Structure 1
Amino acid sequence: MDKKQELMNAAVHLFSIKGFHQTSVQEIAHAVDISKGAFYKHYDSKESLLVSILKRYQAETLEGLEHLDISEGLSPKETFAKKLAFELESILGDRDFFIMVFKDMPTDGNEQLTSLMQEMRSSSSKFHKKMLLDAFGSRIEPFLEDLTTIVEGIQKEYLVTIILENRQLSIDKLSRFIASSIEAITMQLDSMEAVFTETSENGFSIDSLFADMETKIKLYSKNTARLLASLDLLRQELLQDEPREFLIEALTDYLSQEKQIEKEVLLLKNHR
């Protein structure tokens, strides 16, 4: 194993135990028997090391999904459920590390991390769309953005419950439940109207950013009512034909002070 991989493995272990901010470069270097100076021959900073860890995680997950052993006898819906189960198990396999990601992600306006999170979000969304089309066919295309958001929303809420509340759930049962729920929705599409009709060029919808922020505010904020009111006001202002830039700037500046949604606010400001 090369030294970069050793450093990533050591960092995952230390970040999981102590958190990102509480772990020093010196501790990571010491864990693999190199000096602090030698660490910087491999990574520019602790943040760039975290970027590499997240990139490795995503690459391994997507590669695993691409090469997942699927029995020929499985139906498209069962195949969809099996892929969901693999994805969930990949995250839960590093439960402690992802607790750190949820609670201690070092955004702080870090452009490298913000760009990576945007890239990961886009790649994940594209893969989920492909999974949905493979499972339920081209007739769902007008609703693909909505269905992707539903899948990702259900996944996220269950992961929050499993990871942060330490609940024990059957991943196979959960993945089958999600697949059956999506199938039930697809059977009613003829009588439904798509909600998302516009997606950003980066592969994610502005609405999904708002949904993420709302969830995080409810989970983590001590000032829930005021933040949710500001978020709703921002959403309404962005829908106006001539949105007031001064109000949008004031609201995004206020919301960005909440650490847990800082990266989503930054994405919104950069890509609206």
Structure 2
Amino acid sequence: MTNKKQLIIEKALHLFASKGFESTSIQEITDACGISKGSFYLSFKSKDELLVSIFEYFFSKISKRFTELDTIQRVSPKEKFHQLLVIQFEEIERHADFILMQIREQTNPLNKDMTELLASMQEHHHTILHKIFVDTYGKDVQPYVADLIVMVKGLIHGYIEIILTHRQQLNTNELSVFIMERIDDLVLSLLSKQPQPFLSLSMLDKSLLQNAAHSSPRQDLLQEVLDCRNSTIDNDILVTLDVIAEELKKDKPRTPVIKGMLANLVEDKDMLALQQKLMTYVTNQTD
């Protein structure tokens, strides 16, 4: 990653966390970086591409810490598991404002790149957990790995919610020790009682693939509107696209409102393709 790209990511991260993704303009990002819009577009095609890069940036940082931890020979598998939990909680606390922004604006659709990235991150996380469960508890735990992954993720997410929504400062080391003890209890119970596993790893993989493939025509169209919004500086077009985007975010968009906005796009040749797609969309709506 170039120094300029990293600068843009770090400045945008701060702005998104404080103002929100939708409320932050590319102009504000370039002003914070001390660069021109042209320089920004040499690094990122749009604000959405920048958001994907921010997630990739997070992912690479966490993955690097996991990889470094895994290469330490003198650390036991259980201690690696404990440190893996600590790393997750530390990164959540470090970027709490940005994560909360994403939760607040989760009505926005995920574009294809973001969906594929999140699915890849999930798959990577599952692979790490799978390995560390077997390394820590032995091959006998293999049949229950899928169930353990789901249960442990649920346990972790409960504490993440406390960290984020209540902004509660928790001792990440003590919390990770406590969770490890609960995981020990889970594994001991499963190995002693040997119930029939409820999930399989193939079921988890199938779920990830389905999530990655899921996208509605309205979401795809909204994503195009947002992409076009990020690439124009015409104030009239910006207002028009904002109105259309707000309608497309609704469960039942008001097609007359969208149709009424389309005339504003006709004279801009860069918007003609989008205008035609929007016209097709409103024409095909029956509700």
Query: TM-score, normalised to structure 2's length?
Result: 0.66
* Aligned equivalent of 1:239: none
CA distance in 2, matches of 1:204, 1:171: 32
Distance 1:188 1:200, change over 3 A: closer
Residues 1:195 and 2:195 are matched in the alignment: no
Aligned AA for 1:175?
A: S
Aligned AA for 2:132?
A: M
Cα deviation per residue 1:157-202 (whole Å; 9 max; x = unaligned)? 111111111112211111111111111111122412211135357x
Distance 1:120 1:79, change over 3 A: closer
Q: How does 1:114-193 map to 2 (within 5 A)?
A: 114-190=115-191, 191=193, 192-193=195-196
CA distance in 2, matches of 1:160, 1:84: 15
CA distance in 1, matches of 2:77, 2:200: 26
> Do the aligned residues in 1 keep the contact of 2:26 with 2:47 (CA within 8 Å)?
yes
Q: CA deviation at 1:71?
A: 8.2
* Aligned equivalent of 1:16: 17
Q: CA deviation at 1:103?
A: 2.1
Cα deviation per residue 1:215-246 (whole Å; 9 max; x = unaligned)? xxxxxxxxxxxxxxxxxxxxxxxxxxxxxxxx
Aligned AA for 2:85?
A: L
> Do the aligned residues in 2 keep the contact of 1:84 with 1:175 (CA within 8 Å)?
yes
CA distance in 2, matches of 1:84, 1:123: 15
Query: TM-score, normalised to structure 1's length?
Result: 0.70
Distance 1:204 1:158, change over 3 A: farther
Which ranges in structure 2 are unaligned for 5 or more consecutive residues?
A: 212-249, 253-287
CA distance in 2, matches of 1:148, 1:12: 30
Cα deviation per residue 1:12-65 (whole Å; 9 max; x = unaligned)? 100110011111111111111112232111101111101111111111101111
SS in 1 for 2:128: helix
Distance 1:187 1:55, change over 3 A: same
Aligned AA for 1:148?
A: I
TM superposition outliers: structure 1 runs of 4+ over 6 Å: none
Q: CA deviation at 1:119?
A: 1.4
Q: CA RMSD in A?
A: 2.5
Q: How does 1:90-129 map to 2 (within 5 A)?
A: 90-105=91-106, 107-129=108-130
* Aligned equivalent of 1:253: none
CA distance in 2, matches of 1:31, 1:141: 50
Aligned AA for 1:197?
A: S
CA distance in 2, matches of 1:38, 1:198: 45
Q: What is the number of equivalent residue pairs in this alignment?
A: 209
Identity of aligned residues (%): 31
